[in-house]
Structure 1
Amino acid sequence: MTIVSNDPSLWPVIDAYHFSSYFAVAACVGVTYDWTLTFGQEVELVWRQRWSLMTFLYFCVRYLGILFAALSMFYSLPTILLTDTWVYWFTNLLDWINVLVFAMLWVIIITRLHAMYQGSRKILIFLIVTFLAVNVFDGVVVIMATMHMSGEEYILSGSYQCRLNYPEDVSLLGSIAWILATVWEVLALCLAVWIAVKHFRELRRHSAGGIIGDCFSVLIKTHMAYFASFVAVSCFQLILNLSPTILADLYSLEAETLLGLLQISTVVQAYVLGPRLILGVREYHAKLVANSDAASGGQ
């Protein structure tokens, strides 16, 4: 059922909807711009290298990210008329892209941690078990949201909108899924920092820095940048979930600004810094190979 209204009291809702679309456009522009900046590195470090699991994950994260940003921008445009059926499929597609991409990002982080712990089987098993538990729960939440989602179409003063409704238990499960994901990210960071500190102490004790120390520096640097964006996402999410002022008026300028910043931070974390987790390490190894060839050529 489509609800048509020209009630002036609904203009703040229309303005909020228009305002939120700017953040979707900004996120799409940011992802596309980062892709253009790193495309040369991508060709050199990914396209021209031997295919591996990391190559597959890079392409999936990078290009699903571009697709996600483009669809989110299209979905947010107030001049696009989408029926509740189309909104249903759009929302489900975006949700599943997010689930798949974050699962791939965690596979990348598990691989990095496994290498940092020198192939420790205990660490690998622990990370895989926790990874599966969190992602299976995320998948169940998305399936339940898909099954119980309902929508209403609105045409408010010529602006097309669609409101999605979820049962309270599904919203609660979504909050639990977010908490579990946060715990997993914090755990991964702690494991990375712990092994890095341990290795740096050993290198200092034995005065054997050099390549190994530099490699760990690269791993920690890229991981810290990724985690910093996750902290920003978590902070915005906490404010949105716990602030009574925001919850009382989700169409206020403050609420829409936080929602927009949350959207941009999530996109940056997954689809900008995510691919750079792989590019950063590959760029470092490429420089090592180039320096080694230069040194051997000079001799």
Structure 2
Amino acid sequence: MICYEYILQFEKEVTYVWARQWSVMTYLYLAVRYFGISLAIICACWGGLFYMPEAVSRGIFLFMQWGISFYSCLTKVILIWRLYALYNQSKPVLYVLLGLFLPVVALYITVDILLWSRSSAISMQVIVITPNIKYCTAFFHTGPMLAIYTSIPIICYDILLVVLAIVVLRKHLKDRKGLKLKPNTFVVVIIRYHVVYFVLNLAIQIIMTVLWANLSTVAINLMFVFYDTAPYIIVPRLIISIWETHAKDNCVHVSTTFEDCVCWTSPPILEQHEMDPCVV
């Protein structure tokens, strides 16, 4: 699924990434795209029905768990970067978001150490289906409360990010209504994608908690299908779609101080009266 998605988006990636000047968002896109593909392939191999030695299986499992946490942090950095642009490159907003983001990173690291990395918390065991089919799987020796408690601050931080985005949208709609102008397409699109990010991150946190329940094998496998594919498809696709939307618009001026993240979309006649920033 991930490879098929990459093939579908490859032409757009060449057009909007490789054939244009690189920016901070370009590096973030490449990180989530190619690290996501690598992580998805490793997850698929580890979950496949072929044998891995216990030591190898444990190492791959730990890389997966730490990698998923790192990927989640990357998605939050993208949201912070876009909010920084939406708030007219406000340094206080950026510093507050980064200051609150550091404890979130610390929580991810704490969970990865206490819940996944300790030998007493997890063990790898061989599951034998037939004499010729066997594979390693993980067995947990700790309860779900650590994962549940640590997910609460992370969800609260996600709520803060989406609330700040909605506040920008309300102000933007109010200002445009006063000027009797239509809302800026890019502002609306970006806020919409912030909401999608929030729903995705919330779903992942819920799945991480629900996986501790005594669910059927079918239900667990369906959750893992979503957990191991959706983030690596949705996150880079949303970045590409914003660039594609911008490419179809007539852009008067591109800011050099904020690379390609700010675009002035007003007509030349109104440029002195209505400078309308949009995050690309």
Distance 1:268 1:218 in 2: 23
Q: Could you tell me how far 1:81 is from its partner in structure 2?
A: 0.9
How far did residue 103 of structure 1 move? 1.1
**Amino acid of the structure 2 residue aligned with 1:34:** E
Instruction: State whether residues 86 and 168 of structure 2, in contact with CA within 8 Å, keep that contact through their aligned partners in structure 1.
Output: yes
Structure 1 counterpart of 2:33, from 62, 75, 78: 62
Q: Is 1:101 aligned to 2:62, yes or no? A: no
Partner in structure 2 of residue 11 of structure 1 = none
SS at match of 2:89: coil
Matched residues, percent identical? 25
Quote the Cα distance in structure 2 between the aligned partners of 1:274 and 1:54: 12
**Number of residue pairs matched by the alignment:** 251
Tell whether the 8 Å contact from 1:113 to 1:192 is kept in structure 2 after alignment. Answer: yes
Shift of 1:240: 4.4
- Displaced runs of 4 or more, over 4 A: 234-241, 289-292
Q: Superposed, which structure 2 residues align to 1:61-80 within 5 Å?
A: 61-78=32-49, 80=50
Separation in 2, partners of 1:59, 1:274: 11
RMSD: 2.5
Code of the aligned partner of 2:226: S
Aligned to 2:136: 162
Q: 2:226 aligns to what?
A: 265
TM-score (norm 2): 0.80
In structure 2, the partner of 1:196 is 169
Distance 2:229 2:188 in 1: 22
1:131, distance to aligned residue in structure 2 (A): 1.2
Q: Displacement of 1:231 after TM fit?
A: 4.2
| Larger RCO (CA within 8 A; separation ≥ 6) | 1
Q: Which residue of 1 aligns with 2:83?
A: 113
Equivalent position amino acid for 1:122 in 2: P
Aligned amino acid, residue 108 of structure 2:
D
- CA distance in 2: counterparts of 1:155 and 1:63, whole angstroms: 33
Q: Deviations over 1:114-154 (max 9, x none)?
A: 11111222221221112111112211221232133322223
In 2: Cα distance, 1:267 partner to 1:157 partner: 26
Using a 3 Å threshold, how does the CA distance of structure 1 residues 217 and 180 change in structure 2: closer, same or farther?
Answer: same
Q: Distance in 1 between matches of 2:13 and 2:139?
A: 41
- Structure 1, unmatched stretches of 5+, are 1-28
Q: Work out the CA distance in 1 between the residues paired with 2:28 and 2:44.
A: 24
Decide whether the 8 Å contact of 1:218 with 1:280 is kept in 2: no
Alpha-carbon distance in structure 1 between the residues aligned to 2:73 and 2:202: 18
The reply on whether 1:52 has 2:26 as its aligned counterpart is no
Q: Are 1:140 and 2:110 an aligned pair?
A: yes
Matches of 2:18 and 2:159 in 1, distance apart?
A: 32
